[in-house]
């Protein structure tokens, strides 16, 4: 679709940014916080680039007021952050740690005082290590403990936070954490990954009920899925079948039970050699399929697949990190290919049309649910110039093209209410350590000084005006 000269958004549209607790907070031993699986994983040699950890991250725990003030100066009106489970409920069980809850109370108050709407994510991958020691997400008990934790946070913040998200990207938690092992806790157990996916779904459903029991009626409860845009290499029936199998593993395994109360029959059949799914108990699917107010969609790049054995491109040209173990249980005969187009620093293809396709799919998949783009962004090799300024025209072009596709989808009938740029600032990028910079704000990892990049000023102008500014050269 030819892009109009002026791309405008409705006045109520939320212009936000997003972060997660372990990536930015630091202060991992303060206020009674206990280790998470990412503390343990990142301290194991060879698990992260450069042996980097989130011990200090970017010290948001102590610098949150300055960070919020910077958001306000830029013009953002929304901020999605995650709560650290081991900061709020050390060891994953027992009473809440008031010091941890007080930190988030102060953060929320600071956001509201600056006219910024908080959106709370309850789980962004930092499972308390003691729960992992008891079996982690492959064990049903973890879902029960998650619901208890959700209720504690809801009781503490429900009087001032309207937007709630149970899980962020449960696919990563289940399949990168328990199948390929490139994320914490680093296990490589295909059957365990499918068990983890189910118990994450169950945890979502139970947490949704727990939140409903303590939140005001006007509060919004959602889940953020990194539902992937799976494209076949050709229209050959075998390639189409391969795309369907990966779509089931990437998407249907979560939206099937969450939105429709059932796992896809094709998923159960394709993974029957891995597990018999006997861990799904009577009543689980009813517990999982809870009414939602919104759905969060995270998008970065499409996935291109075909049938057949591994190709000369390598054992698996998907965008999910190098590992001898696949994050796709039961799909070892599916080949992954690099999609054509420009690449980000992550090696991910830039394809804004995928975001449009994703939004329109879920507009059909979940009619009546408000949609939010809860993550979208790109990593580039950003460096300050001689004057200390950070110019990132590639990111501006990326954001403008993807936001234009969001507006395209809205014009075509999708009920998209907001967009959260990933990420507000450069931070600990999981297994990539501090090598990959997704931030709109540059972080000097030695001094921790924050410098808004040119993309931050561009995005701030869009947030203040409701219109997409031109890219240099437009």
Catalytic residues: 169, 375
The answer to whether 186 and 41 have CB atoms below 8 angstroms apart is yes
Number of H helices, E strands in the chain: 17, 13
The answer to whether 191 and 274 have CB atoms below 8 angstroms apart is yes
Rounded to 5°, the CA angle 265-326-145 comes to 70
Q: Which sign, positive or negative, has the C-alpha torsion 265, 271, 275, 279?
A: negative
Sheet of 303-307, strand order: 230-232, 303-307, 334-337
Structure tokens at 241: 């079948």
The answer to whether 134 and 89 have CB atoms below 8 angstroms apart is no
The answer to whether 430 and 25 have CB atoms below 8 angstroms apart is no
3-state secondary structure 167-230: EECHHHHHHHHHCCCCCCCCCCCHHHHHHHHHHHHHHHHHHHHHHHHHCCCCCEEEEEECCCCE
The answer to whether 133 and 91 have CB atoms below 8 angstroms apart is no
Burial 161-186 (b: 16+ CB within 10 A, else e): bebbbbbbbbbbbbbbbbbbbbbbbb
Helix (H, G, I), strand (E, B) or coil at 165: strand
d(CA 298, CA 421): 10
d(CA 41, CA 184): 5
Q: Tell me 325's DSSP state.
A: S
Strands 294-298 and 78-82: unpaired
């Amino acid at each position: 679709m030819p892009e109009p000269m002026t791309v405008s958004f409705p006045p109520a549209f939320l212009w936000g940014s997003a972060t997660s607790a372990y990536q930015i907070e630091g202060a991992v031993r303060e206020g009674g916080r206990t280790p998470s699986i990412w503390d343990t994983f990142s301290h194991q040699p060879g698990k992260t680039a450069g042996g980097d950890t989130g011990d200090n991250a970017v010290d948001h725990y102590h610098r949150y007021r300055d960070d919020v003030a910077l958001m306000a100066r830029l013009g953002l009106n929304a901020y999605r952050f995650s709560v650290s489970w081991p900061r709020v409920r050390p060891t994953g069980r027992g009473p809440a740690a008031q010091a941890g809850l007080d930190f988030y109370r102060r953060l929320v108050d600071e956001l509201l005082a600056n006219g910024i709407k908080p959106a709370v994510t309850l789980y962004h991958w930092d499972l308390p290590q003691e729960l992992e020691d008891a079996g982690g997400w492959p064990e049903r008990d973890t879902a029960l403990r998650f619901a208890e934790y959700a209720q504690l946070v809801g009781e503490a913040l429900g009087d001032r936070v309207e937007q709630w998200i149970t899980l962020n990207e449960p696919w990563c938690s289940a399949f990168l954490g328990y199948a390929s092992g490139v994320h914490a806790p680093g296990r490589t157990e295909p059957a365990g990954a499918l068990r983890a996916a189910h118990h994450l779904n169950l945890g979502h459903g139970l947490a949704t009920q727990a939140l409903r029991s303590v939140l005001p009626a006007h509060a919004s409860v959602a889940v953020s899925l990194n539902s992937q845009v799976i494209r076949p290499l050709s229209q050959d029936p075998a390639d189409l079948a391969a795309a369907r199998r990966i779509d089931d593993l990437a998407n249907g395994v979560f939206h099937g039970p969450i939105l429709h109360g059932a796992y896809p029959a094709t998923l159960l059949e394709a993974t029957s050699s891995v597990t018999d799914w006997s861990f799904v108990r009577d009543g689980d699917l009813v517990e999982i399929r809870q009414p939602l107010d919104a759905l969060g969609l995270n998008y970065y790049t499409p996935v291109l697949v075909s049938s057949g054995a591994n190709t000369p491109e390598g054992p698996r040209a998907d965008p999910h990190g190098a590992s001898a173990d696949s994050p796709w249980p039961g799909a070892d005969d599916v080949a992954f290919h690099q999609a054509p187009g420009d690449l980000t620093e992550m090696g991910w293809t830039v394809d804004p049309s995928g975001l449009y396709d994703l939004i329109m799919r879920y507009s059909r998949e979940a009619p009546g649910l408000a949609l939010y783009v809860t993550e979208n962004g790109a990593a580039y090799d950003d460096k300050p110039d001689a004057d200390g300024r950070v110019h990132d025209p590639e990111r501006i072009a990326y954001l403008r093209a993807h936001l234009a596709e969001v507006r395209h989808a809205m014009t075509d009938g999708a009920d998209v209410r907001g967009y959260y740029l990933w990420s507000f600032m450069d931070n600990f990028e999981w297994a990539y350590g501090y090598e990959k910079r997704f931030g709109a704000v540059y972080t000097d990892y030695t001094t921790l000084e924050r410098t808004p990049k040119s993309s931050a000023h561009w995005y701030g102008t869009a947030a203040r005006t409701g219109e997409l500014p031109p890219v240099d050269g437009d």
